[in-house]
């Protein structure tokens, strides 16, 4: 897992997953080096990942004060319980609904929660973080946030896009790929991750980008895209055009059988 310090106060813990037929999906967690350090999501829970070891390259896990859980999907919660044990002063910032979803498998400790709704803010010592509902999401409990000091937007799944290789997926700057390639990737991800976008009223949907347009964040940090500095307006335009787009349709059983027929087992 590459670790990129892209600003003095932001470190990206990069990872990726190869998704057949789609590409290499970035899976990022972040460290916000505030006066009270914040970890944003905790990566994948696969057996070959060690989130705490990766985090230790950015800061001592014991110093973490806040764990901002943007939503409880498994690609965001991989290291959360290990981090809670390693960071005894840390509290989990998330929504009531997110806590409920987590309780179906392994409940979060209730005395270490801090529940926040879109529009509410959290003081982390030298800055406030203002929660918002990103325009695109795949989980109804999703909350991203704006860092009110730097203007940086942490957008959860919104603005994501699969890349052509693991190297690009884990890159420190999404501008390493061309504008057309990025647009195609983001529109594909919009249809995969938020298939409901085909049914929205365009006028109301475009209004959900109001905070992003008003704030004009100089840097957008998505869970599923390399860091995106200086192109917020362009990306908003891309996602704004997703309204009415047909949803992604994955392979069916016949396609799976064709893939398996061409698969050569190791040692076979």
Residue 73 near residue 41, CB atoms below 8 Å:
no
Q: State the 10-residue block means of pLDDT for the chain, 268 residues long.
A: 95 95 95 98 93 97 98 97 98 98 96 98 98 97 98 98 97 96 97 95 96 97 98 97 92 89 66
Residue 174 belongs to some domain of the structure: yes
| Nearby residues of 111 by Cβ (< 8 Å), 6 or more positions away | none
CA distances from 265 to 57, 260, 262 (A): 37, 10, 10
Q: What is residue 163's DSSP assignment?
A: B
- Number of domains making up the chain: 1
Per-residue pLDDT, 267: 55
β-bridge pairing 121-123 and 29-32? unpaired
User: What's the full length of the chain, in residues?
Assistant: 268
User: What predicted TM-score, i.e. pTM, was given to this entire model?
Assistant: 0.94
Is 207 part of any domain? yes
The CATH number covering residue 238 comes to: 3.60.15.10
Any domain includes 268: no
Tens-place pLDDT, residues 46-59: 999 999 999 999 99
Domain that holds residue 74: 3-261
The answer to whether residues 20 and 51 touch, using CB atoms and an 8 Å cutoff, is no
**Is 60 part of any domain?**
yes
pLDDT at site 192: 95
Is the CB of residue 12 less than 8 Å from the CB of residue 28? Answer: yes
Round to whole Å and give the CA distance between 178 and 244: 25
């Amino acid at each position: 897992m590459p670790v990129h310090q892209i600003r003095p106060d932001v470190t990206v813990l990069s990872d990726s997953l190869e998704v057949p037929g789609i590409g290499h999906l970035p899976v990022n967690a972040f460290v916000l080096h505030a006066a009270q350090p914040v970890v944003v999501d905790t990566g994948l829970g696969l057996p070959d990942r060690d989130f705490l070891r990766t985090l230790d390259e950015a800061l001592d896990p014991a110093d973490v004060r806040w764990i901002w859980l943007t939503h409880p999907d498994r690609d965001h919660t991989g290291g959360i319980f290990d981090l809670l044990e390693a960071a005894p002063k840390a509290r989990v910032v998330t929504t009531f609904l997110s806590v409920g979803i987590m309780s179906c498998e392994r409940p979060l400790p209730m005395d270490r929660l801090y529940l926040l709704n879109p529009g509410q803010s959290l003081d982390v010592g030298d800055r406030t973080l203002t929660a918002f509902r990103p325009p695109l999401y795949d989980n109804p409990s999703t909350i991203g946030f704006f860092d009110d000091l730097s203007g940086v937007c942490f957008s959860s799944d919104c603005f994501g896009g699969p890349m052509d290789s693991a190297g690009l997926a884990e890159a420190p700057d999404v501008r390493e790929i061309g504008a057309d390639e990025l647009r195609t990737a983001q529109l594909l991800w919009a249809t995969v991750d938020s298939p409901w976008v085909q049914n929205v009223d365009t006028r109301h949907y475009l209004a959900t980008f109001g905070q992003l347009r008003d704030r004009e964040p100089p840097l957008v940090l998505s869970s599923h895209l390399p860091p995106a500095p200086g192109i917020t307006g362009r990306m908003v335009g891309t996602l704004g055009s997703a309204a009415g787009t047909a949803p992604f349709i994955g392979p069916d059983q016949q396609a799976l059988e064709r893939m398996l027929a061409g698969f050569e087992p190791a040692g076979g």
